[in-house]
């Protein structure tokens, strides 16, 4: 049993009624009202597995019942993702403003049952008790995201499904799926089979930062079939998580060019010699700004739209090195033909083309803040990663923004300055640093701040060779981030980090039950270290803090 004050993310309102409990047992039923069936299926499968209780169908008016209901009309007071949870001596009632709100309320009920409710099979001798409590809750942001890079190191499908469960347990609701990069193409495109035949694997992999002399001398690869993608999207939807796919253009495209050399700047280099990149950094090999390239990627996006129903489609747009365009007669002629002025204008034209293409099909483009260079594509939203500035500029221009500044919420960055921190990358971002992150820049007016859709934590996997390393970098910081994204916290300096740490004591037990290989508060365990493997230290304090 967990104290109601140990919930993460912290609810808006919690009131405990005395010190008594309602105990669940073999006769506890599940009363499911209209619209609550999906949440009931999830609750019965997860709590049924953890507790061994059948949670058989029951009447809503009886005792010893968990009752699930969806508010029939939004005008009754609860927004779609809001919920109320009441536990009395007779049972529990979870009501959501919509199916998503009911699901988040069910997640809270699971937390209240204690860490063992997060296991996959019952442990002997356990009591299942809920405190008599009233919880009322709603999220601060509509976009509460996690980006997972599966291009640098491939995560098999089961690992992706596991991360969707971890997101759901933290009330995160947007999964940004980074599917393509220089180091690998991870999604089957039926009309272009070489994207996976060639582009989904590399001959070897750099171990550590690109300055490291170490290599893993074996092939690395993998990709998701279209049926895998359909399964992932459906699994996410059952947990009220939207999957936003990313196909990176026009930079970070060496894997695609290796598969189809005609996509590259063939008047500058011999692209037939290219292979999928085996090291880290930014490849100079970018897409050629030709009609052939546009038609090719339109074909890619046509198949993508059939697989992903999300409103947004991410097109990358970051770190496009323009040296080849400067040297390319074809690119220079294109700049002159379009009248876009320079290479930045050419990138803006490239992104703008897909903005219009997606808009015509009822979707919205989102890209990293480099899409601001050369002029912001009309209708596009921005993932602001290079600090706050790109998000501020975009919001002031009336464009929607997802705040994910590298200096605050890039979870591949090191968690401590200690020498034992494995493959130390970038700035030190402690658990407290993440907890004090504020997604809405104070420089924005209230009208401008309304364009901040929400926030997102990013996991770039260059130095995360497997699931345990991803876990280590993500947790416990993702738990702090989830509270920032969900809860209406005070200003960063006024946040009760000591209270959050006290609540984390229970939450570590939940993570243990889920099998998460998080970084312990005392530092990395011996097998979590990577002695002698170079990272990427950055001296001095991070900007925009």
pLDDT at site 4: 60
Mean pLDDT of the chain: 95
- Whose structure tokens read 């989102």? 366
Among the residue ranges 207-216, 481-490, 533-542, the one predicted with the least confidence is 533-542
The band of 537, judged by pLDDT with boundaries at 50, 70 and 90, is confident
pLDDT at site 544: 42
Q: What is the mean pLDDT of residues 82-111?
A: 97
End-to-end CA distance of the chain: 38
The band of 350, judged by pLDDT with boundaries at 50, 70 and 90, is very high
Q: What is the mean pLDDT of residues 342-354?
A: 95
- Alpha-carbon span 486 to 370, nearest angstrom: 27
pLDDT at site 468: 98
- Alpha-carbon span 183 to 515, nearest angstrom: 29
Cα separations (Å) of 501 from 6, 15, 430, 513, 525? 10, 21, 12, 19, 20
Exposed/middle/buried for residue 185 (C-beta within 10 Å: 0-12, 13-18, 19+): buried
pLDDT at position 198 over 50? yes
The band of 366, judged by pLDDT with boundaries at 50, 70 and 90, is very high
- Alpha-carbon span 24 to 164, nearest angstrom: 28
Tokens representing 476 are 């416990």
Beta strand pairing call for 13-24 and 128-137: antiparallel
DSSP summary character for residue 376:
P
Measured in whole angstroms, the distance separating CA 509 from the mean position of its chain's CA atoms is: 23
**pLDDT > 70 fraction of the chain, expressed in percent and rounded:** 97
Angle in degrees, CA 10, 16, 20, rounded to 5: 130
pLDDT at site 542: 54
Compute, in degrees rounded to 10, the torsion defined by CA atoms 231, 236, 239, 244. -160
User: Under a CB-based contact definition with an 8 Å cutoff, are residues 261 and 287 in contact?
Assistant: no
Over residues 242-252, the pLDDT tens digits come to: 999 999 999 99
pLDDT at site 74: 57
Cα separations (Å) of 261 from 194, 247, 253? 11, 18, 11
**pLDDT > 90 fraction of the chain, expressed in percent and rounded:** 93
pLDDT at position 540 over 60? no
pLDDT at site 373: 82
DSSP summary character for residue 515:
T
Angle in degrees, CA 249, 148, 438, rounded to 5: 100
Cis peptide before 476 (omega within 30 of 0): yes
The band of 1, judged by pLDDT with boundaries at 50, 70 and 90, is very low
Catalytic residues: 181, 252, 319
What three-state secondary structure class fits 37? helix
In what helix (H) or strand (E) does residue 284 lie, and over which residues does it extend?
none
Cα separations (Å) of 147 from 359, 375, 404? 23, 25, 10
Q: What is the mean pLDDT of residues 393-422?
A: 96
The DSSP bridge partners found for residue 185 are 180
* Verdict on whether the full-model pTM lies above 0.95: yes
pLDDT at site 422: 96
Exposed/middle/buried for residue 73 (C-beta within 10 Å: 0-12, 13-18, 19+): exposed
DSSP summary character for residue 382:
E
Over residues 290-343, the pLDDT tens digits come to: 999 999 999 999 999 999 999 999 999 999 999 999 999 999 999 999 999 999
pLDDT at position 425 over 90? yes
pLDDT at position 103 over 80? yes
pLDDT at site 545: 34
Over residues 441-483, the pLDDT tens digits come to: 999 999 999 999 999 999 999 999 999 999 999 999 999 999 9
- Alpha-carbon span 236 to 425, nearest angstrom: 30
Among the residue ranges 57-61, 98-102, 383-387, the one predicted with the least confidence is 57-61
Q: What is the mean pLDDT of residues 347-374?
A: 94
Q: Cβ neighbours of residue 525 under 8 Å, at least 6 residues apart? A: none
Over residues 503-521, the pLDDT tens digits come to: 999 999 999 999 999 999 9
- Alpha-carbon span 317 to 371, nearest angstrom: 6
The band of 73, judged by pLDDT with boundaries at 50, 70 and 90, is low
Exposed/middle/buried for residue 99 (C-beta within 10 Å: 0-12, 13-18, 19+): middle
- Whose structure tokens read 């059952």? 238
Over residues 483-496, the pLDDT tens digits come to: 999 999 999 999 99
DSSP summary character for residue 528:
G
pLDDT at site 378: 76
């Amino acid at each position: 049993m967990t104290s109601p004050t140990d919930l993460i993310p912290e609810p808006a309102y919690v009131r405990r009624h005395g010190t008594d409990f309602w105990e669940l047992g073999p006769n506890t039923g599940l009363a499911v009202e209209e619209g609550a069936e999906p949440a009931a299926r999830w609750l019965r499968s997860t709590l049924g597995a953890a507790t061994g209780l059948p949670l058989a169908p029951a009447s809503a008016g009886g005792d010893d019942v968990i009752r699930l209901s969806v508010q029939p009309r939004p005008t009754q007071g609860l927004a779609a993702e809001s919920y109320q949870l009441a536990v009395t001596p007779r049972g529990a009632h979870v009501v959501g403003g919509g199916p998503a709100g009911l699901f988040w309320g069910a997640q809270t009920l699971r937390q209240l049952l204690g860490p063992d409710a997060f296991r996959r099979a019952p442990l002997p001798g356990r009591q299942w008790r809920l405190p008599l409590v009233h919880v009322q809750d709603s999220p601060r942001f509509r976009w509460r995201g996690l980006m997972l890079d599966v291009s640098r190191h491939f995560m098999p499908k089961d690992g992706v499904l596991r991360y969707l469960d971890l997101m759901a347990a933290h009330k995160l609701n947007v999964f940004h799926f980074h599917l393509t990069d220089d180091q690998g193409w991870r999604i089957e495109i039926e009309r272009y089979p070489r994207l996976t035949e060639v582009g989904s694997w590399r001959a070897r992999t750099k171990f550590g930062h690109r300055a490291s002399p170490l290599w893993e001398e074996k092939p690395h690869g993998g990709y998701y079939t279209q049926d895998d993608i359909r399964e992932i999207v459906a699994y996410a939807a059952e947990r009220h998580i939207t999957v936003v796919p990313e196909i990176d253009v026009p930079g970070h495209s060496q894997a695609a060019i290796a598969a189809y050399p005609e996509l590259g700047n063939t008047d500058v280099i011999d692209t037939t010699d290219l292979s999928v990149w085996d090291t880290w950094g930014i490849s100079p090999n970018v897409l050629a700004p030709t009609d052939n390239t546009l038609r090719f990627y339109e074909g890619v996006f046509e198949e993508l739209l059939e697989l992903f129903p999300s409103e947004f489609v991410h097109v990358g747009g970051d770190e496009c090195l323009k040296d080849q365009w400067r040297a390319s007669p074809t690119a220079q002629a294109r700049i002159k033909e379009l009248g876009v002025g320079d290479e930045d204008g050419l990138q803006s034209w490239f992104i703008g083309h897909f903005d219009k293409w997606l808009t015509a099909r009822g979707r919205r483009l989102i890209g990293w803040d480099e899409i601001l260079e050369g002029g912001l594509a009309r209708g596009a939203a921005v993932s602001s990663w290079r600090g706050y500035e790109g998000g501020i500029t975009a919001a002031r221009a009336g464009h929607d923004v997802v705040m994910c500044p590298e200096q605050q919420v890039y979870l591949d960055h090191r968690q401590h300055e200690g020498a034992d921190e494995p493959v130390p990358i970038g700035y030190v971002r402690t658990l407290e640093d993440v907890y004090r992150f504020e997604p809405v820049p104070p420089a924005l007016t209230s009208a401008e701040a309304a364009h901040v859709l929400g926030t997102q934590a990013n996991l770039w996997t260059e130095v995360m060779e497997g699931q345990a390393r991803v876990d280590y970098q993500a947790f416990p910081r993702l738990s702090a981030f989830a509270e920032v994204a969900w809860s209406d916290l005070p200003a960063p300096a006024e946040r009760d980090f000591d209270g959050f740490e006290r609540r984390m004591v229970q939450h570590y037990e939940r993570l243990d039950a889920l099998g998460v290989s998080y970084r312990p508060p005392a530092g990395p365990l011996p097998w979590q270290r990577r002695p002698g493997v170079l990272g990427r230290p950055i001296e001095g304090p991070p900007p925009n803090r």
